[in-house]
Structure 1
Amino acid sequence: MGQVIQSRRMRLREATIAEIKSTALQHMASSGTAAVSLRAIARDMGMTAAAIYSYFDTRDNLISVLIADVYSTLADTLETAIDGCPADSPQAQLIAFGSAYRTWAINNPEEFRLVYGDPAPDYRPPEGGAAAEAEHRSCAVLTGIIAAAWPTARYLCTEDTHSWADFDPQFAGLIQQSFPGLPPAAVALSLRVWGRLHGLVTLEVYGHLRPQVSDPAKLYRTELTDLAHSLGRTAADDSHHSAATA
């Protein structure tokens, strides 16, 4: 009987936590990330302020959990997208990755802003923890694609002089652990590729492409296709292409 009561209490607690997080996301969608307030959430849920603090002791704790959830969902989405691609085709994987990334961002703008914008005024993320682990997992998807394309994609880094000292030590350690033998130039390339894709997605999510582009999806597909083709080309291919178009 005691186990039944404990199990029921656990289910109720999990349901309440899920409702708190859902309400927080609703506040973000209607009023932005600055609207996240434990007292406001408690009021909407018919709870006392004291009661909600038994689930999340601070607003920053709630935001950190939300960030971890968002990164985990994003990582699931990206991993699922590339699972159906041939293992020996980083080009197809990059197309699938980029397409899934943009679709997720467009369909979840507040979640995108939460993890890639300013989460909330005066928010101080904890060091390490679930949020950091989930972020690394989502980043590792693209790094894995670049690792699969290396060294064919080396021509994109002909003048790259990056060393491990150029990266945050914790980040470098995680990469070296996840991808043994991957050189710093390949890691820099993965960040550059992500920057190009993320840049266009960010401009679209924040509405900065509207005055210039009638079809942001087409612009993004062009960039994504160009990047994917680049991963499969060699320095010799690039020299031949330049000579043919000169």
Structure 2
Amino acid sequence: MKPASQRPVARSRMLSTAIHAIGLLLFALSFSQVPKGTNPLRKGFGGPYKFLTIIALLLSTITFVIGLLGDVLNVKPLFVAKSYMSLCATPVELLITIFYWTLYFIDRTKLTPPGHQLPLNHDLGLHAVPTIMLLADLLVLSPPWAINGRAAFLLDLGIAFSYWGWIEYCFSIVGWYPYPGLTLASPFKKLVMCVVWAAFLAATTVLLKKLHAKIIAITDTTQIVASSKTK
């Protein structure tokens, strides 16, 4: 039986289960390395969960846990819930990957204080692997996202403001931000950053939706051609 609300990419749930299980294993390995980080900005209230990267990894993990439960139980609402979680996690992870590795090759000190850089395998586990696994789940297993650009912007604006509120709360307790540049930013600049970040996330969502539709169209065409040749 094909998984409910999933794309018919296999005669059984084996492929979907494998992708979700592998993803959770890789995410667990990344989480196991988090306590080894030495960045002094992670100290105090909130710990590493002040950083957007770790929050995104948590969202990715929840997405794959729901997906794996759906594979095992074959319950349609779980696959629907996974798609909603993917809609939140995938654009965030993709933009984290793009911005992180861009800065990584320009100036690593803007990401992590000198002497506190992460080993490459841990870096990849936090800033590349989640994106790869979420894209595999979206493009191979999932149905198209049912969201337009305006709705995506409102959703992502909510995500951006939620994170802003969280780090401000942490700042009120520990006295510093996870990203030093925020110390000098006025509330108005932070507001602008939230809006710009939400716009980037929404644009990413729309682009991923279009890419997904093209992949589905190509796959369907290939299947039709293959079916006609066998007749």
TM-score (normalised: structure 2): 0.31
Point out the structure with max Rg over C-alpha. Answer: 1
Structure number with greater CO (CA < 8 Å, separation at least 6) is 2
